Amino acid sequence: MDSEEKKNLPRRKFFINGIKAVVGFFGLSLSIPLAGFFISPVLKKNAPGWIEIADVPALTAGEPVGITYKYARKDGWEMSEIRKTAFVLKQADGNIAAFSNRCTHLGCGVTWDPAARRFKCPCHGGVFDAQGKVLEGPPPKPLAQLAVKVEANKIFINEA
């Protein structure tokens, strides 16, 4: 190594380090948005919110009506269609209540027996009254009450 090369060595090192710093800076500034792009679908909450399921005038006071509704849910990168059934009850005072049709014992679908005025679970004999309270059998708690609202005579259920 002659003296001219020795003199140029710090300058060469300086340029190489400068290039590394520029490449590192651009690499980092690109990798953060890319990582966000790939991770964000997993972190996003894709709840559909309020879903219109029925008209209020179609209900008879005191008589629960089973309504099946569906909505799309995005889970990470996967879209799926969810189907659920809720029982909607127009109460004597005109208020609307909605219950899940899932039995609180092991999740079987309950049905409304209009003659007995009871919800009945076909799996282990669970029985609930029209307000979803447990009357008989192994269910440990009442039918789950769903968030419901009425706007312009339409009933909405919140799928949060």
Binding site for ligand FES (CB under 6 A): 103, 105-106, 108, 121, 123-126, 137-139
Whose Cβ is closer to ligand FES: residue 130's or residue 150's?
Answer: 130
Smallest separation, CB 147 to ligand FES (Å): 23
Residue 145 near residue 131 (C-beta atoms within 8 A): no
Whose Cβ is closer to ligand FES: residue 90's or residue 126's?
Answer: 126
Smallest separation, CB 129 to ligand FES (Å): 15
Q: What is the 3-state secondary structure (H, E, C) of 100-153?
A: ECECCCCCCECEEECCCCEEECCCCCCEECCCCCEEECCCCCCCCECCEEEECC
Smallest separation, CB 109 to ligand FES (Å): 9
User: 94 — phi, psi (to 5°)?
Assistant: 95, -10
β-pairing, 134-136 vs 148-151, is unpaired
Whose Cβ is closer to ligand FES: residue 119's or residue 156's?
Answer: 119
Whose Cβ is closer to ligand FES: residue 49's or residue 107's?
Answer: 107
42, two tokens: 């997993």
Residue 87 near residue 64 (C-beta atoms within 8 A): yes
Smallest separation, CB 41 to ligand FES (Å): 34
Whose Cβ is closer to ligand FES: residue 48's or residue 137's?
Answer: 137
Smallest separation, CB 53 to ligand FES (Å): 23
Strand partners, 99: 87, 145
